[in-house]
Amino acid sequence: MVALFGQLLFSLYVTLVYGGAVVTGDTERWNHVMPRGYVPGDTAGNAALMTHVLIAVLIMLGGGLQLLPAIRRRLPALHRWVGRVYMISVMLASLAGLYLTWTRGEPSRMPQHIAISLNAIIIVTCAVFAWRAARARNFSAHRQWALRTFLAAGGVFFFRLGVFLWLLINRGPVGFDPETFSGPFLTALAFGVYVFVPLTALQGYFVAQQAVGVWGPRVMAVVLVLLSFLSMGGVASVTMMLWWPAIR
């Protein structure tokens, strides 16, 4: 529920801020919220970014919809179509993201660029396996790979939650330089959310579901509750400090 609600807010922010700027023809407004949003003369880069950001809305809304058991049970055709659109969207967003990272990225943020590029590889790999398992009607494998795709594609969402929760807790930037947006905290956060933490927690959840004793599932439940509270704090921080002021 925390992820669904947070991603709904994220897509509302993207639609109003970026979509609003496209509708009014004021694409330079993108630069108020992104360091290198609209770059005059860089047609390919601007087109890649526009595609990337507009697809982001489909990803944030579609991923949540796929998780609702009632839709899977009662509207299987909708689940299949949203699934196809979602898988294609995450792959396209990852490819456009890779292009932007390696054509526009700053050398000072190299560790973050490496982490998010690994994230792109993980997203595409998980999406391919999820799709193949669905076509082979291997639904237990499909469920696992689809959940991995969802969490890997949520990496950029978790990154924003992590940055703003950290800023709120420390009452300012600690462990990174706000001018260059680089430093040890951001490097650790990037590898954590893009590569390790969500997928490791998910694997723990799969293992706990198979566990025979009572302690494995209990420990995993506590871990998931803690991660949910962290996410809740992150959603509240990023909404208060970035999304709501940008929309207003």
Nearest to 8 by CA among 129, 107, 154: 154
Rounded Cα–Cα distance for residues 87 and 132 (Å): 11
Rounded Cα–Cα distance for residues 126 and 232 (Å): 26
Q: Which is nearer to ligand HEM, 97 or 220 (CB)?
A: 97
> How many other β-carbons are positioned within 10 Å of the β-carbon of residue 131?
19
When asked if residue 34 is in the footprint of ligand HEM (CB under 6 A), the reply is yes
Rounded Cα–Cα distance for residues 30 and 50 (Å): 10
Q: Which of 9, 61, 100, 167 binds ligand HEM (CB under 6 A)?
A: 100
When asked if residue 239 is in the footprint of ligand HEM (CB under 6 A), the reply is no
Cα angle value 84/85/91 (rounded, 5°): 90
Number of helices (H), then strands (E), in the chain: 12, 0
Q: Which stretch binds ligand HEM (CB under 6 A): 64-72, 119-127, 218-226, 229-237?
A: 119-127
Q: Which is nearer to ligand HEM, 153 or 220 (CB)?
A: 153
Q: Which of 66, 112, 119, 237 binds ligand HEM (CB under 6 A)?
A: 119
When asked if residue 148 is in the footprint of ligand HEM (CB under 6 A), the reply is no
Residues in touch with ligand HEM (CB under 6 A): 14, 33-34, 52-53, 56, 59-60, 90, 93-94, 97-98, 100-101, 116-117, 119-120, 123, 153, 156
